[in-house]
Amino acid sequence: MSGPGNQERLLLFLRRHGEASMAELARGLGLTQVTVRHHIQELIRSGFVSPPEKRRRGGPGRPEQIYSLTERAAPMLPGNLPELARALLGTLEARHGPEWLRKALAASGRQAAAGIQLASAPGSETFVGDVLGALDERGYLAAAGRWSGRRCITFANCPYLAAARHSPAVCAFDQALMEGLLQEPLVLFQRIADHDERCMFLLGA
């Protein structure tokens, strides 16, 4: 497996040290200042690194230009949400049982659906498209179609695959979310977590 690229290494260095000058970045990463400057400029344009600020030296000389991360850089840094999700799901299931966990996740899905404002009403020409757009904003890569004569919604991506493979109850969140958005019942027919190509929900159960 290849290691992190130079831009990721630069972001990690700035997170670890808080701020750094061009010379400090080059020295700490083992890169030339020309290479560091190129990556810094790209990261500033992307909004991950703030424009340089002056840092006064202790003695004479021109102040150094220093760089630091913006809040927008947070998603680019290492995270471990899958492990946290598995730990929480495992603890809740062991304490309350799988049916309690399924009901709790379904309630969370309904609550999430209630917080989504769609531009069109059920039955309108654009309604399903609005629902698919809301799902795509959450990483599902959703599509509408038909399977064996029935309407269906498919997901090309499971945004929390590791958690769904750890606990099938996680899919109750998806089902309740879509039932709340579409305002009709669904049946989960296929799951990416079961190594199917797509998740598939049949409508009008």
Question: What are the residue ranges in the chain where pLDDT is below 50?
Answer: 1-3
Residue ending a domain, choose from 58, 76, 94: 76
Which CATH number do you get for residue 68? 1.10.10.10
Residue appearing with tokens 């949400």:
81
Alpha carbons within 13 angstroms on the beta-carbon side of residue 178 total 28
List pLDDT tens digits, range 40-84.
Answer: 999 999 999 999 998 766 656 677 899 999 999 988 888 888 888
- Alpha-carbon distance of 45 to 27, in angstroms, equals 23
Same domain, 86 and 156: yes
Burial 150-184 (b: 16+ CB within 10 A, else e): ebbbbbeebebeebbbbbebbbbbbbbbbbbbbee
Same domain, 93 and 181: yes
- Alpha-carbon distance of 93 to 90, in angstroms, equals 5
H/E run at residue 53? strand 53-55
Quick one: pLDDT at residue 2?
39
Quick one: pLDDT at residue 83?
87
Question: Residue 204, Cβ neighbours under 10 Å: how many?
Answer: 11
Q: What is the 8-class DSSP label of residue 104? A: H
- The residue range of the domain holding 23 is 6-76
Quick one: pLDDT at residue 177?
96
